Amino acid sequence: MAKIATREAYGQALAEFGEVYKDIVVLDADLSKSTRTEIFKKKFPDRFFNIGIAEQDLMATAAGLATCGKIPFASTFAVFAAGRAYDQVRNSIGYPHLNVKIGASHAGVSIGEDGASHQMLEDIALMRVIPGMVVLSPSDAASTYECVRLAIEHEGPVYIRLGRLGVEEIYKKGELKLELGKGIVLQKGTDVGILATGLMVHEAIKAAKMLQEEGISVYLVDMPCVKPLDVDLILDVAKATGCIVTAEEHNILGGFGSAVSEVLIQNYPVPVKMVGVNDEFGRSGKPEDVLKYYKLTAEEIVNKAKEVMKMKR
């Protein structure tokens, strides 16, 4: 099966929705070939603006367009969108709650060879603490398409986290229907819950199979919506299994696992183990090698599942 990167699906989705929603405009910061907004640009050249290598200007220009009724998709690498332009995202988009969508590609360590300066591992933490900011982290092409649709339909700022690496399809486009604030139950189980987001959903699926072969029953959930979180589903998993593993391609500090833990600790405390990058910067290497180096693997999810099951009281 052909692998499709979520950034590729993003570019395609923009071009597709651009037909229907004439207010969509796309902005990029000299990375349209990489973020794949080039696909939109070719189809709608008048509604595409290259702002050049100037991410702060990119974000605030998008804000200005939004005040006039446009639906701007400001697109660049996650490290620049959430990092370099943080103040612009916070003050010119988040605070006035403007209808800007941020398409942040090349998130996580799986961009590989470019190394730490380009591997964004803190964006979930940074974006989810901006009041009113929706944070989406799709796992495959179909869920990316759905996240773009949700972003368009939601009035307000949205951050969409995308990857560079080609990934297998989990869902069939047209069959998947996402709701804002809802997770996707891949299977129900009773021994351990695995909640994963983005690229790590693929590893979580493999991990669930490995655990099942050992007779362990796994409640497996894909969480494309990091904010708002599906609180009901998280509690359902906690009650059914009594212990949870989270998996994300992000620093474990402040990220998806932290968000899930915030929900649990206030409502139904159960032990949690987090798979993610352990408060480190990334490093160069082939994407597969980097992912292995940081233990962003199915094997590590299996290990953490076994550890957390022993912590159940």
Partner 1 sequence: MDKAKELELKKIATEIRKSIIIQTAEAGSGHPGGSLSGVEILTYLYFVEMNVDPKNPKDPDRDRFVLSKGHASPLLYAVLAEKGFISKEELKGFRQIYSSLQGHPDMKKVPGVEMSTGSLGQGLSVANGMALAAKLDKKDYRVYVLLGDGEIQEGQIWEAAMTAAHYKLDNLTAFLDHNGLQIDGKITEVMSPEPVDEKFRAFGWHVIKIDGHDFNQIEKAVNEAKTIKGKPTIIIAETVKGKGVSFMENEVGWHGTAPNKEQAQKALEELQKQLESLEVQG
CB 139 within 8 A of CB 201: yes
Smallest separation, CB 82 to partner 1 (Å): 16
- Phi and psi (nearest 5°) for 182? -120, 140
If the CB atoms of residues 20 and 68 are measured against partner 1, the closer one turns out to be 68
Helices (H) and strands (E) in the chain, counts: 13, 14
- In 3D space, the residue among 72, 76, 92, 95 whose CA is nearest the CA of residue 84 turns out to be 76
Which positions from 8 through 37 interact with partner 1, judged by CB under 8 A?
A: 25
Q: Is residue 44 near partner 1 by the rule CB under 8 A?
A: no
- CA–CA dist 157, 146 (Å, integer): 16
**According to CB under 8 A, which one of 88, 105, 119, 246 is a site residue for partner 1?**
88
Structure tokens, 212: 């099942």
Q: Is residue 71 near partner 1 by the rule CB under 8 A?
A: no
**Among all chains, which residue has been given the structure tokens 């990375």?**
31
If the CB atoms of residues 66 and 234 are measured against partner 1, the closer one turns out to be 66
CB under 8 Å to 95, separation ≥6 — which residues? none
Q: How many CA atoms lie within 13 A of 160 on its CB side?
A: 36
- CA–CA dist 219, 180 (Å, integer): 21
CB under 8 Å to 7, separation ≥6 — which residues? 34, 35, 36, 105, 106, 162, 163, 164
If the CB atoms of residues 55 and 146 are measured against partner 1, the closer one turns out to be 55
Q: Is residue 2 near partner 1 by the rule CB under 8 A?
A: no
Smallest separation, CB 44 to partner 1 (Å): 11
**According to CB under 8 A, which one of 5, 31, 51, 81 is a site residue for partner 1?**
51
**According to CB under 8 A, which one of 64, 172, 278, 280 is a site residue for partner 1?**
64
CB under 8 Å to 61, separation ≥6 — which residues? 27, 49, 51, 72, 74
Q: Is residue 92 near partner 1 by the rule CB under 8 A?
A: yes
Q: Is residue 52 near partner 1 by the rule CB under 8 A?
A: yes
User: With CB under 8 A as the contact rule, which of the stretches 90-98, 182-190, 252-260, 281-289 interacts with partner 1?
Assistant: 90-98
If the CB atoms of residues 57 and 169 are measured against partner 1, the closer one turns out to be 57
- CA–CA dist 221, 245 (Å, integer): 11
Smallest separation, CB 116 to partner 1 (Å): 23
Q: Is residue 45 near partner 1 by the rule CB under 8 A?
A: no
Q: Is residue 91 near partner 1 by the rule CB under 8 A?
A: yes
The phi-psi region of residue 254 (left if phi > 0; otherwise alpha if psi is between -120 and 50; otherwise beta) is left
Q: Is residue 131 near partner 1 by the rule CB under 8 A?
A: no
**According to CB under 8 A, which one of 45, 69, 131, 215 is a site residue for partner 1?**
69
Pairing of strands 184-187, 218-222: antiparallel
Indicate if 55 belongs to the active site.
yes
Q: Is residue 68 near partner 1 by the rule CB under 8 A?
A: yes
Q: Is residue 56 near partner 1 by the rule CB under 8 A?
A: yes
* Site residues, partner 1 (CB under 8 A): 25, 46-47, 49, 51-52, 54, 56-57, 59-70, 72, 87-88, 91-92, 95-97
Active-site positions?
55
